[in-house]
Structure 1
């Protein structure tokens, strides 16, 4: 029944949302020879007959209310299943948190994007659906990458939209590489997706992209494509270039990328993370302040009980401010411009 539904409609998103707690595995072959495997709800793998050297993972819906990336990935899957898009590379598509998508909420119980690299199993006796899903998603990523042999290029693009607007509408988070150089080719690819603002992380993290990068050596990114909107309210023309570039990567029709030029990018590194320590944590700026906003030296940014957080450096900008996170979690990052010209390959 699953196979026939997917052959008829290509609507894997509808199938996933109708079965948020699980989906029986199945496999079949499209008329063009592409092998299709459904591993779970929101987890579908494709292997074309003569595939290239890239193992690509596209993930979306890790936060359930970030709908534009879900629509982008759902349309790609539909076009593959209905024969409109002919793959040239192996592909795994992950719809991260179907239960939260159904609720129209960022999460059901816990932030899924803080539970990878084993964080799903930390905290004695803490069990919930997001922790189980994080563990399962780690397993599916490992399974996909380990199924192919030989010299392979591994990629994971985890697509999001942000809670608030941004001075730069689209930006990417490049996970901490533990001293390894950043890759020009990946920055060039991001630019082709109209993503020219990149935050270079300086510490290990519990995010999905860091897990794929650190555990599997993948070129992995968290990519923020704009601001959160409900289904049906996204202006998909704003994401057209991103979707077009992803499709070109999947079909091996990507045009030669322009040479890397630092002048075309806004590159930042994390200067400090501000974590919420008490329930009294409070941000001292408007709720609609955009990501990458800067303030004068000494400006009060947040208080947490008796603690005060003020601007410490010229050019310091804020990103991902969220006073509603759980105690102990990151409530805001402060970033500064970064020159990477000597740290690229």
Structure 2
């Protein structure tokens, strides 16, 4: 298993479907899906981890990070002390370097793919759900479940060059998990309702899950400090190193926001009252008209609200932005 990413992009099935290294047993589940299990069960930490990337095929920073992580594992330069499932998501879109080919896969999880027309994304979403459920079911119910889904945002940010989006959940969040996220992102955004993302799907199985958004620089160039730092923290996570403490250069813990309102275009007569180049986390003050959708308006109700993923060009039925408020 010399280069899992190259094998995946080439559609190659490895000559062996399982094997061992000094530290772990590996098993090829399906194209782009690899399971690793430590040989010494007495060294297992109290968590099982799913690490995924490439759910959007043109968001490759996370794919590069996970491929390097696998190369280090197979080179025996770091040990493995947790059960680990690594997933490269939308393979056809990765090959084409496109966000998706037919449908946005990150809106299809939780069985929503059943309502979509036949496509490679529909089939892949169903397969990824099955792989994750099997992985959780094969583990010990007593261990924590973590899922980090790595994405790349191409829109610049007014603040917070990296951030995590956390799905709505019925039970409380583990502060150890949130503390660890604070070592790799500058802000945490808490959803208040269910949606079709991959991380939301995992949360339905009591996993602590997060969509991690990494920002590229100008012309798609990655931030090498951010890239290397996340690489290092993921290595600590899977090798049993100390986690949950922000690095010294973090001036404060990750700032927490919650989603106040989702702006969705419902009518042809739709306007957003900010320019195309509006940045993520741009603040708007109380009373500002943000969106007009036919006879319906969205006006900022709180002293300050912040916009995330602003997109005035959205088609009917699609999200045009999220309005956030800071948690006290």
Normalised by the size of structure 1, how large is the TM-score? 0.86
Distance 1:287-1:23 versus aligned 2 partners, 3 A rule: farther
Q: Paired residue for 1:342?
A: none
Q: Paired residue for 2:238?
A: 250
> CA separation in 2, counterparts of 1:37 and 1:159?
22
From 254, 259, 270, give the equivalent of 1:270: 259
In the alignment, does 2:316 pair up with 1:330?
no
From 165, 173, 183, give the equivalent of 2:165: 173
Asked if the contact 2:18–2:28 (Cα under 8 Å) also holds between the matched residues in 1, the reply is no
Give the paired residue count.
321
Distance 1:60-1:272 versus aligned 2 partners, 3 A rule: same
Asked if the contact 2:181–2:244 (Cα under 8 Å) also holds between the matched residues in 1, the reply is no
> CA separation in 1, counterparts of 2:271 and 2:231?
37
Distance 1:154-1:265 versus aligned 2 partners, 3 A rule: same
Q: Paired residue for 1:205?
A: 195
From 97, 120, 127, give the equivalent of 1:104: 97
Distance 1:282-1:132 versus aligned 2 partners, 3 A rule: farther
Asked if the contact 1:60–1:158 (Cα under 8 Å) also holds between the matched residues in 2, the reply is yes
Q: Paired residue for 1:3?
A: none
Distance 1:26-1:172 versus aligned 2 partners, 3 A rule: same
> CA separation in 2, counterparts of 1:173 and 1:322?
18
Gaps of 5+ in 2: 247-251
Q: How does 1:91-130 map to 2 (within 5 A)?
A: 91-122=84-115, 126-130=117-121
> CA separation in 2, counterparts of 1:61 and 1:229?
20
Shift of 1:24: 7.1
> CA separation in 2, counterparts of 1:242 and 1:63?
19
Distance 1:273-1:11 versus aligned 2 partners, 3 A rule: same
> CA separation in 2, counterparts of 1:230 and 1:147?
42
From 18, 21, 46, give the equivalent of 1:28: 18
CA-based RMSD of the aligned residues comes to 2.4
1:174-198: per-residue Cα shift (whole Å, max 9, x none)?
A: 11112x22221111101222x1311
In the alignment, does 2:304 pair up with 1:315?
yes
Normalised by the size of structure 2, how large is the TM-score? 0.90
In the alignment, does 2:67 pair up with 1:74?
yes
> CA separation in 2, counterparts of 1:326 and 1:44?
36
1:282-338: per-residue Cα shift (whole Å, max 9, x none)?
A: 433222221111123333323334544333322111111224444223221111111
Distance 1:205-1:25 versus aligned 2 partners, 3 A rule: farther
> CA separation in 1, counterparts of 2:58 and 2:291?
26
Gaps of 5+ in 1: 1-5, 340-345
Shift of 1:133: 1.0
In the alignment, does 2:49 pair up with 1:64?
no
